[in-house]
Amino acid sequence: MKSDLVDLTVQIHARTERSILVSDDGDREGAVWLPLAHVEVAAQGKHHVVTMPEWLALDRGLI
């Protein structure tokens, strides 16, 4: 069975109650907002691993 979840290493630039602003290259200029309702975040040093549905990563241009 194929999983539709992807794990991406990102840098978090901002956080609100409902979303996080992330980039995969550390550049805030190209960062995108992700709804916390659709992602899981795990700290890994100054970077984080975010698990999300593949459709969301595609929609935000992260993959």
Could you tell me the CATH number of the domain that includes residue 32? 2.30.30
Domain range holding 33?
5-59
pLDDT of 43? 93
- Report the domain count for the chain: 1
Under 8 Å between Cβ of 11 and 21: no
pLDDT of 3? 76
pLDDT of 28? 95
pLDDT of 6? 97
**CB atoms closer than 10 angstroms to residue 35:** 12
pLDDT of 1? 55
| Element housing 23 (H / E) | strand 19-23
For the chain, residues with pLDDT lower than 50 are none
* Rounded distance between C-alpha atoms, residue 31 and residue 43, angstroms: 18
